[in-house]
């Protein structure tokens, strides 16, 4: 049980999840009660305990990605988060671990997928071969990248762009991560192309 703003939250979680929540609260410079209270205030689903479990698993996945992919002082997670080009860091199960500001700007802040959701629940991926086959080839190391087209449909708006999956080698061979980089170059080049004069 945790308490915040005179409100008690009775949550049943296994000890490992409480440990992860405490770490996340500490990283946010908050007490556990305040951290959980703020999460509860923004939660709109029906099972808050399940939401916290998923949040803990994602936090753990992000920490492992940062530790396992560290090359010098920069990890692939840091690279994705600081890149201007829209990008998403994905787990071996195609779940979204994190995405950067470029992706938020491209998709629109009000349409962002939840971290932990499946990639294909957020955007449609169009490929010449089945996506599962491409993904298995990336995991196996048969290919290191794959060009795809992505599509996101919103009421009154369709976003389409070329993109590329890039596999990321981890220090632990059992781990696998991939980045989906979305190319905005075509759109920018069309805007920057000089107009021909009217005759």
H or E element, residue 4: strand 2-4
Residue 42 pLDDT > 70, yes or no? Answer: yes
What does the domain layout of the chain look like in residue ranges?
Answer: 11-66, 75-190
Measured in whole angstroms, the distance separating CA 60 from the mean position of its chain's CA atoms is: 13
Q: Which residues pair with 179 in a beta bridge?
A: 89, 166
pLDDT at 170: 67
pLDDT at 69: 54
Domain 75-190 class?
Answer: alpha beta
Residues 134-145 pLDDT 10s: 999 999 889 999
Which of 125, 55, 54 has the alpha carbon at shortest distance from 88? Answer: 125
| CB-based contact 94:119 (threshold 8 Å) | yes
The average pLDDT across 86-107 equals: 88
pLDDT at 190: 33
């Amino acid at each position: 049980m945790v308490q915040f703003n005179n409100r008690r939250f009775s949550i049943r979680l296994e000890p490992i999840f409480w440990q992860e929540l405490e770490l996340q609260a500490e990283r946010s410079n908050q007490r556990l009660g305040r951290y959980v209270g703020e999460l509860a205030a923004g939660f709109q689903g029906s099972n808050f305990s399940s939401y916290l479990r998923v949040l803990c698993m994602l936090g753990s996945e992000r920490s492992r990605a940062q530790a396992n992919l560290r090359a010098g002082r920069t990890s692939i997670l840091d690279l994705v988060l600081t890149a201007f080009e829209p990008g998403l860091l994905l787990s071996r199960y195609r779940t979204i671990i994190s995405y950067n500001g470029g992706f938020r700007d491209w998709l629109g802040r009000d349409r962002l997928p939840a971290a932990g959701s499946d990639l294909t629940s957020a955007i449609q991926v169009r490929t010449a071969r089945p996506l599962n086959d491409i993904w298995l080839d990336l995991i196996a190391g048969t290919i290191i990248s794959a060009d795809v087209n992505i599509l996101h449909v919103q009421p009154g708006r369709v976003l389409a762009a070329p993109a590329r999956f890039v596999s990321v080698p981890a220090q632990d061979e059992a781990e696998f991560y991939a980045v989906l980089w979305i190319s905005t170059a075509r759109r920018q080049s069309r805007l920057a192309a000089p107009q021909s004069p009217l005759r």
